[in-house]
Amino acid sequence: MTIEIRPYTRNDYEGLLSVQREAFPPPFPEELWWKREQIEDHVSLYPEGAMVALCDGIVVGSATSLLITYTGQPHTWAEVSDNGYIRRSHDPEGDSLYGIDLCVRPSYRSRGVAGALYEARKQLVVRSGLKRFMAGCRIPGFHLHAGSMSAEEYVGRVVDGEFKDLVLSFMLRQGMVPIQVLDDYLEDEESLNKAVLVEWRNERCITTISGGETAS
């Protein structure tokens, strides 16, 4: 199967919406699907971060990102994404690419679509000279263990391979590294509203100096 990744445009809205309808059917709230105004903002403010995946001309997935200056401060999805509009959160001078959404049509999952979108994001980071790609990662398996351990311990045990987590384990396979647990990131019963911030570092932005390495 050949997967094409390109920037999405305003004309792709119906295709993007059809993917979300299939991926998040009722009782998922329709108001949480992408709105046309949000797509307009993604395309006008940071078109490079608005990506669509196609197979045989069919929209099968999408990924949306923006630029931030990473400070290490805790944040929620609503804050980092400006509730999906990115008007007040996208920083054209930012040093990091931040993924706020990735969605794949259910009938095309496990066929490399998500991996292709993540690879395209990494290529964007390198091409743009950014320091990293980041995302807030759901940990849907956490609710099964929350009675006996903290979120930090759960993440560590997934990293060690003791547990498998549907989302975090996938992120690890993409070369992402957990750096911070975020509380109240998103309303998410399985993750108990928590997420783990993960990053992929752009090694081309690492400058070797005497006594160690530093991010350039």
User: Which tens digits make up the pLDDT trace of 123-168?
Assistant: 999 999 999 999 999 999 999 999 999 999 999 999 999 999 999 9
Torsion of CA 183, 32, 37, 49, to 10 degrees: 50
Q: Is the peptide bond before 27 cis (omega within 30 degrees of 0)?
A: yes
- pTM comes to 0.92
Q: How far apart are CA 116 and CA 213, in angstroms?
A: 30
pLDDT band at 212 (very low <50, low <70, confident <90, very high): very low
Per-residue confidence (pLDDT) for residue 206, from 0 to 100: 60
Give the model confidence (pLDDT) of 8-49 as tens digits.
999 999 999 999 999 988 777 888 899 999 999 999 999 999
Strand partners, 40: none
Q: pLDDT (tens digit, 9 = 90+) per residue, 170-196?
A: 999 999 999 999 999 999 999 999 999
* Residues contacting 78, CB < 8 A, separation 6+: 186
Give yes or no for a contact between 101 and 138, defined as CB atoms under 8 angstroms apart.
no
Query: Which amino acid is located at 205 in the chain?
Result: C
- Separation CA 111–CA 24 (nearest Å): 19
